[in-house]
Structures are given as structure tokens and as C-alpha cells.
């Protein structure tokens, strides 16, 4: 049962990702990007990390997707008439992306470690929030602090950038 | 199941790379970056399910934070640039060009 | 003390070089150019006269296979005599040049005095050097400074050609000289002249070939028969230069060297015969060519060749001290004649004899000086030139070389002819004509001193006898009388039948031109070989060497422009590159790591 779900969601997410890439209108691309994010979140939940899936929906789709939409509203220039205009040097990019896919998948699928990992793969254990918070605040507090500083820096940076609004015109 | 998840995650990442490298619209590039990082998120989740601790969650939270910050600032820069150069083309950001 | 003398003699070079850097228009201190060398050289002269004994100086230079090469400077009487002569004539020439150089532009003053100082210092050190290696070093420096001084007026292409020919020919001789030195070193193991002289007398080393090479080098420097083209051509340089270099010091440097290594040379009879032969030939044809010349300075040049031939002849007949004596006497009257010619040329603007007709009044100082000089030149008794020349001729007759003596007597006739030519062309016998303008003291002073020195023969002979013992030459009043009558009669005949002699002997002019057949060969070689080599080397230097050096910056600039194109400021390009790098990194890991591949094969 779960296997089928996983395969379904995988296929769907691949499809939506392709549509994100290959659509000529920016709005369509953004919305399908949102759908991809949803599907990935569903995969997270099926696999067993409930918290992460929910966090993904909240923050990613709720946050960054809305940001994208607003920036599209603010800048206008909505869509191109044909797909080719959206691309710049597609052939070399396809090649590079393809080689990336090839090398990483070869590396992963043919190494001993990954074969061992495949055997140990189990999705029965559901991670609880309590466990995450315990390990976060006991073992990984350093990362927590760092990410909070990073967020602070981002806020300051955005405010600084906002400040330049009037002087540029 | 494991392998299919790995392949999907790598495929999504490569689509993200493709968008990053070939699109003209700056927002499409940012979307590409996001896709790439989400694919890597998926990759981490599948691998960490083979271990006994829940280290994946920490990793992904951190990646999430970074992604969010970077998108925020990227969008701010994009908006400012649009105000100056009146265009959304990635080739308008070439003030570092020498020749 | 001995080191400080050498340092003192090299000091003027550095001072004049430093002076050449200053701009004198503001300071008006060009007189420093000639005052400093004059003071230094005269103080050197004073030191040499006043201090009786100075030790010899030996500077170790190199040791090859256990054999030493040292630079040895010996302050013995034999060397010091010539060095005093060199310094006296140099000081007088410096005083003369200080007035002579006023006509030139200011920038060339320091160049003139710099190379003159180089010449005088190297000649001085050459005279006191007592080993072959340091002699060679300063021998080459003489040639070098002579090149720069002959080509002093470097806008004149004829002067440059002459200086180049002079340099090439003396350089050619330098090669032989160097080869001789190397061969002597490999056979005898030392280059010290005292050691060599001792070795030569009591061993059977085969040093004929090295000595032959050295002698060929000496011939080229002294402008003897095969190499005589450069000396008349060198007259294109300034006159004080000719007076110092090409009459009194550089061209006789070889004679001095032969005097020093005479015990070596006396071991080989063939070498002495060669010296005799070349000496006679040069002396004879020099005298003939001098008579047929029309240019005043060229007459003096050929006369120098002739007298130097006599010196080599004297060495060839085993009388080195007579050669030294003739060198000593010859330097005075020849430099006097050259300085005199300089004044005459400057006053009349030309050096062709026909234009200088009757330019010196008989009763003036200049007239008296001219008479003294010409009498000394043609060896009239009592004047300086006579004693040395007579001794040489009489020792030749005493040794039984009658044929050679006859040729030399013909040479004497021609010598008197050309001295008479100079004397009677320049002097104006008419007492009614006006006298010349008053000549500056700086010109007349050196002339007077040299005239006194060339006037009295016994004086110079006594000066010479103090340092070097002249071997007794048998001579009788009869022979002296015969020689003098020959000379006087030639003078008289020339005076009375000036035009007829000129006409008759003019027909044989082509004969005299054909005597110097080597001249044409040298000019051909110069025009064909040297010029084309120089043109090729200049082309090579300009296009290939400079092109190679310029090529490097051009390629660097081209490459940097191309590299600048890599950064076009677009972030996407940089992203592309980083992703490609990441992919390549993964590939590298795959390829180089054995576990992964082994994992793949399982």
C-alpha cells in the first residue's frame, strides 16, 4: 500500500517539476512549483517524518511561494508567447543537468554503502516531535543558534535593501 | 522503494539545475534553486531512514532555514533590480563585466 | 705604495666618467675635464721621479692545474723609463687638447677626456706590467680607447669607417696574441716574464709557435707591412690623439714588449729573421709612400711606420737596447711633429700640402720648431733622431748585412726627401710677409718642451744611459760624415730642383700604390665581409631578439584579454561553471576511489 503511494507521489512530483520547467508563463510555473512542494511534503509524511512534511507545507508553500507570487505581481511582465523565449542556451544546460543526474545516480547506485543502506531502509518508525526537539536542543543546539543568527542577518539585510528604495529613483 | 525515491530526488534536483542554468526570467532561476534544494531534502530523508537516529530532521530544518533566507534576499534584490533596469532578464545583472 | 700608484693611475678614468654625468651649462666647470687628469698624471710623474725604490706588486689572479697566473707590476728602471716618457707626453698632450677641444660641442668634451684617460692609464700600466696576462689586458684596452678616439667625430662616416678598420685589424692581431699567451702557458706553465726569461735560457721548450703568434699580434698593433692600412686611415681622428697614440705610445707598445721578453725571442733565429725582414720592408715602403703622399698627417703616419720598422729591425739584429733607444727618441720628435701639424691644420683649415704652401714664417717660433723637428726626423747629426738611427745602421753594417744596409740607405734618402718636402713646403722664406697671429700658450708650451727634448741628442742619450746600458756600437767619424753628407745633399737637391723632382717622381706614383697591395684586400674584406656581418647581426638583433622580447608582453596582454572575457559579470555563468565543477569532482571521486568501483563490480 505504502509502496504504491510512494511510487504515485514520485511520479506526480516528477511530472509537476517538469511542468514547472517547461511552461511559458511564469504564473503557471510558480503554481506548479507550489504543487511540487505539496507533493514532496506528502512524500515526507508517507515516509514517516510528519513534522517535516507539515513544516514544508507551512513554510515553503505558505512562505516562499507567496513571496514569489507577490514579486510576480509587483513586477508585471507576466508571460512570454512561446516556450523558446524563456530559455537561454538550453542545449548545454540539458547536457549539464543530464550529466549531473548520471554521475550522481551512478555514484549512488553502485556503491557498497548505498546497497547496505537500501537493505536497512524502513519506514515503520514515525518520528515524534518530542524526539526531534530533544535531540535538537541537546545535541544540535549549535546549529539552532547558527540558523537563528542567519535569520537575523537576513532580516537586517532585507531591511537595508528596503532602505534604498527612494534614493535610487 | 528506496531506489525509486533516490531517483526521483536526483531527477528533481537535475530539473532544478536545468532551470537554474537555462531560464531567462530571474524568478524562474530562483524557482530552480528551490526545486534543487527540495530534491536534496528528499534525498536526505530517504537516506536517513536507514539509520536509527532521526538526524534527517535536523539536516532538513537547517537546509530549510538557509533556503528561506536566500530566497528572501534574492527576491529583494530582484525587485530592486527590476526597478532600476526595468527588465526581468538575468543578463541585465552584468555590472561586474570588464570588457 | 706600489698598489697606490696603480690606483692613482686608474683614478682619472673614474673621475672623468663621473664628471660626464654633470650638466656643465650651469656650472661652467668643463675645465675640470682636463685639469683633473693633468694634475693626477703629473703627480704620478712626480712620484715616479722622486721615489727611488718601489717594490714590485704581484696580484694572484687564477690557478690552473697548479700553475699560477699572477698580475705582476715591476717598477724597475727599464720599465719606468718608458712610463716617464708616456706620462710626459700625455701631460703635454692633455694641455694641448684643452685648447684644441674648445672648438667642439660641450657634450663631447667629457667623452674625449674619458677615453684619453683610459688610454693613458692603460698605457702606463702596460709599461710597468711584468707578465704577459696583464700586458694583454691593457693591450686590448689600448686598442679599445684608440677606436673611440679615432672615431671621435662620429658624424663623419669616413672617421667611423677608419676607426672600425683600425679596431678590426688590431683585434685580429689580439687573437693571435691571446693564442700565443695560451700556448706559452700550456707549455711553460707560467706567464711571468722574469720566470720565462730564465726558463728560456736553460731549457729546450718549443715556444717558437706561440712567440710567432705574439709577434704577429705585435705587427698588427704597430701597423707593419701586412697590416699597415689602419694607421694612415687613423689620421681622421683629432690631432692630439694621433700625436699621443699613433706616434709615441700605442704603436710602439709592441717594441716595449719585445724588449722585455727579448731572451725568449733570441732563442729562435727564424723569429729574429722575420722581425728583420718585416722591419726592412715596412721601413722602406713606408718611406716611399710618405714621399708620394699629399696630406700632411698621412706623411707623418707613413713616417711612423717607417721608423717602427727600424725598431723591429734593431731587435731582429739582436740589439734590443738600440730599439728601445730609438723608440725613446722617436716619441719626442714624432709627437712634436703631430702637434705642430695640428696647429697648422687648425690655422689653415686644411691638411693638404699644396694648400699649406708657405704658411710658416721662417723667423718665428713656429719656424724654429719646424726646423728642429724636421732635422730630427731626417737624422741630422746632433739632433735626437740621429744617434739612435745611426747606431742601428752601423750595427747592421758591422754585422755584415750589406744588402739590407743598402735598402735602409735608400730608405734614408726617401726619409730626407719627405722631411725636406714638409720643411720647404711649409716655410715661407720671404721675410717681407706678415707673421701669423699670436698662438696661444697652451699650444706653444708643449711644443717648446718637446722641441728642447728633440733638439739635443746628447741630452736624451745621457737620460737614456742612466737607466739602460747601450751596448757599444763601433762607429767611426767617416761613416757619420758619409751619412750626414747624404742627408744634406738630398736636402739641397730637393730645395733647388723641387719642381723637377716632383714631376719626375710623380710618374712612379703608381708603383708606390702597388706596393701596398694589401690595402685593397683589406678594404675589400671590410666592405664585403664585415659590413654584411654587421648588417646581419643588426637585423637579427632588431627583429629576432627584440621580437622575442616584445612577443612575451604581447602574448601576455592577449591572454589576459581573453581571460577577462571569462568574467562577464553574469551570475548564471558562474553558476554553470560551479555545477560543472561539482560534476567533474564527483567523476573524479568515482574514478579514483577503488571501493566504489569494486562495489560496482560486485
Q: Write out pLDDT tens, residues A40-81.
A: 999 999 888 888 899 999 988 999 999 999 998 888 766 667
Read off the pLDDT of each residue in B71-75 and give the average, rounded to a whole number.
92
Q: What φ, ψ does residue C351 adopt, rounded to 5°?
A: -115, 10
Q: Which of C515, C538, C558 is the last residue of a domain?
A: C515
The contact set of B with C (CB < 8 A) is: 17, 20-21, 29, 90-91, 93-99
C-alpha cell at C593: 576511489
Asked whether the beta carbons of A46 and A9 are under 8 A apart, the reply is yes
Question: Cβ contacts of residue C471 below 8 Å, gap of 6+?
Answer: C319, C321, C322
Based on the domain organization, do C383 and C483 belong to the same domain?
yes
H or E stretch covering C438: none
The contact set of C with B (CB < 8 A) is: 561, 564-565, 567-572, 575-576, 579
Question: Cβ contacts of residue A56 below 8 Å, gap of 6+?
Answer: A37, A40, A41, A44, B41, B64
Residue of C nearest to A100 (CA): C583
C-alpha cell at C318: 739582436
pLDDT at C428: 74
When CB atoms are compared, the residue of B42, B50, B71 closest to A64 is B71
Cα distance between residue C330 and residue C85, in whole Å: 11
Cα distance between residue C511 and residue C218, in whole Å: 28
Based on the domain organization, do C535 and C567 belong to the same domain?
yes
Asked whether residue C108 is assigned to any structural domain, the reply reads: no
Q: How many residues does chain B have?
A: 99
Based on the domain organization, do C351 and C416 belong to the same domain?
yes
- Name subunits touching B (3+ CB pairs < 8 A): A, C
Q: What percent of chain A has pLDDT over 90?
A: 32
| Distance spanning both ends of chain C, measured CA to CA | 94
Based on the domain organization, do C341 and C403 belong to the same domain?
yes
pLDDT at A78: 66
Residue C307 has pLDDT above 90, yes or no: yes
Kindly report the pTM of this predicted structure.
0.66
Condensed to tens digits (0 to 9), the pLDDT of residues C77-125 reads: 888 899 999 999 999 999 999 888 887 777 788 888 999 999 999 999 9
Q: What φ, ψ does residue B34 adopt, rounded to 5°?
A: -60, -45
Read off the pLDDT of each residue in C13-28 and give the average, rounded to a whole number.
74
The CB density around residue B77, as the number of other CB atoms within 10 Å, is 15
- Name subunits touching A (3+ CB pairs < 8 A): B, C
pLDDT at C56: 85
Asked whether residue C223 is assigned to any structural domain, the reply reads: no
- Give the confidence band of A123 by pLDDT, cuts at 50, 70, 90: confident
pLDDT at C602: 47
What is the gyration radius of the CA atoms in chain C, in angstroms?
A: 31
H or E stretch covering C427: strand C427-428
Asked whether the beta carbons of C173 and C221 are under 8 A apart, the reply is yes
Cα distance between residue C542 and residue C540, in whole Å: 6
C599 touches chain A (CB under 8 A): yes
Chain A residues inside the 8 Å CB shell of C581: none
Asked whether the beta carbons of C328 and C82 are under 8 A apart, the reply is yes
Q: What percent of chain B has pLDDT over 90?
A: 41
Based on the domain organization, do C591 and C503 belong to the same domain?
no
pLDDT at A13: 93
Asked whether residue C531 is assigned to any structural domain, the reply reads: yes
Based on the domain organization, do C484 and C559 belong to the same domain?
no
Residue C467 class from Cβ within 10 Å (0-12 exposed, 13-18 middle, 19+ buried)? middle
| 3-state SS class at C592 | helix
Q: What φ, ψ does residue C401 adopt, rounded to 5°?
A: -90, 80
Measured torsion, CA atoms of residues C471, C474, C475, C479, in degrees rounded to the nearest 10:
-130
The CA distance from B3 to the nearest CA of chain C, in Å, is 16
Asked whether residue C399 is assigned to any structural domain, the reply reads: yes
Contact criterion met (CB < 8 Å) for A93 and C600: no
Residue B38 has pLDDT above 90, yes or no: yes
Contact criterion met (CB < 8 Å) for A112 and C582: no
Cα distance between residue C324 and residue C388, in whole Å: 9
Averaged pLDDT score across all residues of chain B: 87
When CB atoms are compared, the residue of C583, C598, C600 closest to A99 is C583
Asked whether the beta carbons of B29 and A103 are under 8 A apart, the reply is no
Residue C536 class from Cβ within 10 Å (0-12 exposed, 13-18 middle, 19+ buried)? exposed
The CA distance from A96 to the nearest CA of chain C, in Å, is 7
Cα distance between residue B25 and residue B23, in whole Å: 6
Based on the domain organization, do C510 and C528 belong to the same domain?
no
Read off the pLDDT of each residue in B56-84 and give the average, rounded to a whole number.
89
C-alpha cell at A125: 518508525
Cα distance between residue B44 and residue B5, in whole Å: 10
Contact criterion met (CB < 8 Å) for B80 and A168: yes
Q: What percent of chain C has pLDDT over 90?
A: 22
The secondary structure of residue A58, as a DSSP letter, is I
Based on the domain organization, do C352 and C460 belong to the same domain?
yes
Question: Cβ contacts of residue C557 below 8 Å, gap of 6+?
Answer: none
Cα distance between residue C29 and residue C25, in whole Å: 8
Based on the domain organization, do C494 and C594 belong to the same domain?
no
Averaged pLDDT score across all residues of chain A: 85
C-alpha cell at C234: 687613423
When CB atoms are compared, the residue of B21, B94, B98 closest to C576 is B21
Measured torsion, CA atoms of residues C510, C515, C516, C520, in degrees rounded to the nearest 10:
60
pLDDT at C600: 53
When CB atoms are compared, the residue of A96, A111, A113 closest to C579 is A96
- Among A149-163, C84-98, C431-445, which stretch is predicted with the lowest mean pLDDT? C431-445
Q: Where are the beta strands (DSSP E) in C44-189?
A: 57-64, 67-73
pLDDT at B61: 87
- Give the confidence band of C174 by pLDDT, cuts at 50, 70, 90: very high
Nearest to C42 by CA among C82, C2, C95, C1: C95
Contact criterion met (CB < 8 Å) for A96 and C587: no
Largest CA distance in chain C: 131
Averaged pLDDT score across all residues of chain C: 85
Q: Return the bridge partners of C352, or none.
A: C295
- Among A32-36, C57-61, C304-308, C435-439, which stretch is predicted with the lowest mean pLDDT? C435-439
Based on the domain organization, do C457 and C594 belong to the same domain?
no
Question: Cβ contacts of residue A136 below 8 Å, gap of 6+?
Answer: A143, A144, B57, B58, B61
Residue of A nearest to C586 (CA): A103
The residue range of the domain holding C555 is: 524-601
Chain A residues inside the 8 Å CB shell of C595: 111-112
Angle at C203 between CA C200 and CA C205, to 5 degrees: 75
| 3-state SS class at C65 | coil
H or E stretch covering B84: helix B55-85
H or E stretch covering C462: helix C457-467
Chain C residues inside the 8 Å CB shell of B98: 564, 567-569
pLDDT at C189: 84
pLDDT at C599: 58
Condensed to tens digits (0 to 9), the pLDDT of residues C349-375 reads: 777 777 777 777 777 788 888 888 888
A93 touches chain C (CB under 8 A): yes
pLDDT at C257: 93
Cα distance between residue C382 and residue C586, in whole Å: 108
Condensed to tens digits (0 to 9), the pLDDT of residues C409-434 reads: 888 888 988 888 888 888 877 766 66
Based on the domain organization, do C481 and C367 belong to the same domain?
yes
Q: Which of the pair, C2 or C28, is modelled with greater confidence? A: C2
Q: C363 vs C382, C431, C433, C437, C456, CA distance in Å? A: 22, 8, 11, 14, 20
Nearest to C322 by CA among C427, C377, C381, C394: C394
Interface probe for B, chosen from C557, C571, C574, C578 (most Cβ of B below 10 Å), is C571
A73 touches chain B (CB under 8 A): no
Q: C561 vs C549, C556, C558, CA distance in Å? A: 19, 9, 5
Chain C residues inside the 8 Å CB shell of A96: 576, 579-580, 583
Q: Which of C495, C515, C535 is the last residue of a domain?
A: C515
Instruction: State the ipTM, two decimals.
Output: 0.90
Q: C45 vs C88, C335, C424, C459, CA distance in Å? A: 7, 19, 37, 19
Read off the pLDDT of each residue in C259-273 and give the average, rounded to a whole number.
89
Contact criterion met (CB < 8 Å) for A157 and B73: yes
Cα-to-chain-centroid distance, residue A85: 25
Contact criterion met (CB < 8 Å) for C587 and A93: no
Q: C377 vs C301, C384, C422, C586, CA distance in Å? A: 13, 9, 11, 100
Asked whether the beta carbons of C325 and C460 are under 8 A apart, the reply is no
What is the total count of domains within chain C? 2
- Among A163-167, B63-67, C158-162, C483-487, which stretch is predicted with the lowest mean pLDDT? A163-167
Read off the pLDDT of each residue in C406-410 and give the average, rounded to a whole number.
89
pLDDT at C138: 93
Asked whether residue C576 is assigned to any structural domain, the reply reads: yes
Q: Which of C461, C491, C515 is the last residue of a domain?
A: C515
When CB atoms are compared, the residue of B57, B62, B83 closest to A49 is B57
- Name subunits touching C (3+ CB pairs < 8 A): A, B
- Domains within chain B, CATH numbers bracketed: 2-90 (1.10.287.3510)
- Give the confidence band of B66 by pLDDT, cuts at 50, 70, 90: very high
Chain B residues inside the 8 Å CB shell of C561: 99
Condensed to tens digits (0 to 9), the pLDDT of residues C503-561 reads: 777 777 776 667 777 777 778 877 788 788 888 999 998 888 888 888 888 889 999 88
Contact criterion met (CB < 8 Å) for B90 and C570: yes
Residue C598 has pLDDT above 60, yes or no: no
Based on the domain organization, do C472 and C576 belong to the same domain?
no
Q: Which of the pair, C304 or C245, is modelled with greater confidence? A: C304
C370 Rama sector, left if φ>0, alpha if ψ -120 to 50, beta otherwise: alpha
Amino acid at each position: 500500500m505504502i509502496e504504491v503511494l510512494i511510487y504515485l507521489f514520485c511520479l506526480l512530483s516528477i511530472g509537476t517539476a517538469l511542468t514547472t520547467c517547461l511552461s511559458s508563463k511564469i504564473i503557471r510555473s510558480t503554481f506548479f512549483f507550489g504543487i511540487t512542494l505539496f507533493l514532496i511534503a506528502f512524500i515526507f509524511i508517507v515516509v514517516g517524518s510528519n513534522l517535516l512534511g507539515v513544516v514544508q507545507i507551512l513554510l515553503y508553500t505558505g512562505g516562499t511561494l507567496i513571496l514569489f507570487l507577490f514579486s510576480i505581481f509587483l513586477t508585471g511582465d507576466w508571460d512570454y508567447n512561446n516556450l523558446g523565449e524563456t530559455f537561454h542556451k538550453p542545449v548545454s544546460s540539458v547536457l549539464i543537468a543530464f550529466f549531473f543526474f548520471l554521475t550522481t545516480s551512478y555514484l549512488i547506485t553502485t556503491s557498497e554503502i548505498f546497497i547496505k543502506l537500501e537493505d536497512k531502509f524502513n519506514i515503520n518508525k514515525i518520528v515524534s516531535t518530542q524526539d526531534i526537539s530533544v535531540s535538537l536542543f541537546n545535541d544540535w543546539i549549535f546549529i539552532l543558534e547558527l540558523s537563528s543568527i542567519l535569520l537575523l542577518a537576513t532580516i537586517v539585510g532585507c531591511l537595508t535593501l528596503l532602505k534604498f528604495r527612494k534614493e535610487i529613483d | 522503494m528506496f531506489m525509486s525515491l533516490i531517483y526521483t530526488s536526483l531527477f528533481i534536483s537535475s530539473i532544478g539545475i536545468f532551470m537554474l542554468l537555462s531560464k531567462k526570467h530571474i524568478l524562474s532561476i530562483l524557482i530552480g534553486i528551490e526545486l534543487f534544494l527540495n530534491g536534496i531534502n528528499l534525498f536526505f530523508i530517504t537516506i536517513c531512514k536507514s539509520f536509527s537516529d532521526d538526524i534527517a530532521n535536523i539536516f532538513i530544518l537547517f537546509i530549510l532555514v538557509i533556503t528561506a533566507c536566500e530566497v528572501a534576499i534574492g527576491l529583494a534584490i530582484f525587485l530592486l533590480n527590476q526597478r532600476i533596469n526595468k527588465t526581468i532578464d538575468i543578463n541585465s545583472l552584468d555590472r561586474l563585466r570588464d570588457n | 705604495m706600489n698598489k697606490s700608484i696603480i690606483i692613482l693611475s686608474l683614478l682619472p678614468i673614474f673621475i672623468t666618467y663621473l664628471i660626464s654625468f654633470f650638466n656643465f651649462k650651469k656650472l661652467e666647470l668643463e675645465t675640470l675635464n682636463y685639469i683633473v687628469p693633468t694634475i693626477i698624471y703629473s703627480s704620478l710623474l712626480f712620484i715616479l721621479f722622486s721615489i727611488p725604490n718601489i717594490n714590485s706588486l704581484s696580484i694572484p689572479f687564477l690557478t690552473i692545474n697548479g700553475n699560477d697566473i699572477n698580475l705582476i707590476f715591476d717598477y724597475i728602471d727599464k720599465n719606468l723609463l718608458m712610463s716617464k716618457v708616456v706620462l710626459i707626453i700625455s701631460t703635454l698632450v692633455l694641455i694641448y687638447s684643452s685648447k684644441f677641444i674648445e672648438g667642439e660641442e660641450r657634450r663631447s668634451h667629457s667623452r674625449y677626456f674619458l677615453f684619453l684617460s683610459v688610454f693613458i692609464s692603460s698605457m702606463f700600466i702596460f709599461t710597468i706590467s711584468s707578465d704577459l696576462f696583464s700586458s694583454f689586458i691593457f693591450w686590448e684596452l689600448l686598442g679599445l680607447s684608440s677606436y673611440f678616439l679615432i672615431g671621435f667625430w662620429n658624424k663623419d662616416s669616413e672617421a667611423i669607417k677608419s676607426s672600425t678598420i683600425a679596431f678590426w685589424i688590431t683585434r685580429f692581431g689580439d687573437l693571435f696574441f691571446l693564442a700565443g699567451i695560451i700556448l706559452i702557458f700550456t707549455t711553460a706553465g707560467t706567464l711571468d716574464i722574469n720566470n720565462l726569461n730564465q726558463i728560456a735560457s736553460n731549457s729546450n721548450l718549443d715556444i717558437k709557435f706561440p712567440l710567432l703568434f705574439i709577434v704577429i699580434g705585435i705587427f698588427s698593433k704597430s701597423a707593419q707591412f701586412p697590416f699597415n692600412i689602419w694607421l694612415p686611415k687613423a689620421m681622421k681622428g683629432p690631432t692630439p690623439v694621433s700625436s699621443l697614440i699613433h706616434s709615441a705610445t700605442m704603436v710602439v707598445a709592441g717594441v716595449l714588449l719585445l724588449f722585455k721578453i727579448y731572451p725568449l725571442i733570441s732563442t729562435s733565429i727564424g723569429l729574429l729573421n722575420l722581425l728583420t725582414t718585416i722591419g726592412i720592408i715596412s721601413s722602406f715602403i713606408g718611406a716611399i709612400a710618405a714621399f708620394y703622399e699629399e696630406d700632411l698627417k698621412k706623411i707623418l703616419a707613413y713616417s711612423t711606420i717607417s721608423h717602427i720598422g727600424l725598431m723591429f729591425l734593431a731587435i731582429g739584429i739582436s740589439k734590443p737596447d738600440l730599439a728601445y733607444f730609438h723608440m725613446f727618441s722617436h716619441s719626442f720628435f714624432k709627437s712634436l711633429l703631430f702637434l705642430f701639424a695640428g696647429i697648422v691644420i687648425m690655422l689653415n683649415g686644411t691638411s693638404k700640402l699644396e694648400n699649406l704652401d708657405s704658411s710658416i714664417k721662417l723667423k718665428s717660433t713656429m719656424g724654429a720648431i719646424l726646423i728642429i723637428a724636421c732635422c730630427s726626423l731626417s737624422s741630422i747629426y746632433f739632433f735626437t733622431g740621429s744617434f739612435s738611427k745611426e747606431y742601428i745602421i752601423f750595427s747592421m753594417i758591422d754585422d755584415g748585412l750589406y744588402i739590407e744596409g743598402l735598402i735602409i740607405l735608400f730608405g734614408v734618402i726617401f726619409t730626407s726627401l719627405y722631411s725636406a718636402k714638409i720643411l720647404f713646403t711649409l716655410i715661407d722664406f720671404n721675410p717681407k710677409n706678415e707673421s701669423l697671429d699670436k698662438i696661444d700658450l697652451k699650444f706653444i708650451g708643449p711644443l717648446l718642451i718637446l722641441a728642447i727634448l728633440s733638439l739635443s741628442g746628447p741630452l736624451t742619450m745621457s737620460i737614456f744611459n742612466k737607466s739602460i746600458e747601450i751596448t757599444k756600437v763601433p762607429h767611426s767619424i767617416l761613416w757619420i760624415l758619409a751619412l750626414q753628407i747624404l742627408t744634406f745633399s738630398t736636402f739641397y737637391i730637393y730645395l733647388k730642383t723641387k719642381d723637377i723632382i716632383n714631376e719626375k717622381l710623380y710618374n712612379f706614383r703608381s708603383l708606390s700604390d702597388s706596393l701596398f697591395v694589401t690595402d685593397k684586400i683589406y678594404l675589400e674584406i671590410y666592405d664585403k665581409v664585415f659590413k654584411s656581418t654587421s648588417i646581419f647581426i643588426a637585423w637579427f638583433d632588431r627583429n629576432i631578439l627584440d621580437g622575442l622580447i616584445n612577443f612575451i608582453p604581447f602574448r601576455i596582454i592577449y591572454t589576459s584579454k581573453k581571460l577577462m572575457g571569462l568574467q562577464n559579470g553574469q551570475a548564471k555563468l558562474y553558476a554553470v561553471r560551479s555545477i560543472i565543477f561539482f560534476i567533474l569532482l564527483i567523476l573524479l571521486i568515482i574514478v579514483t576511489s577503488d571501493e566504489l568501483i569494486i562495489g560496482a563490480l560486485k
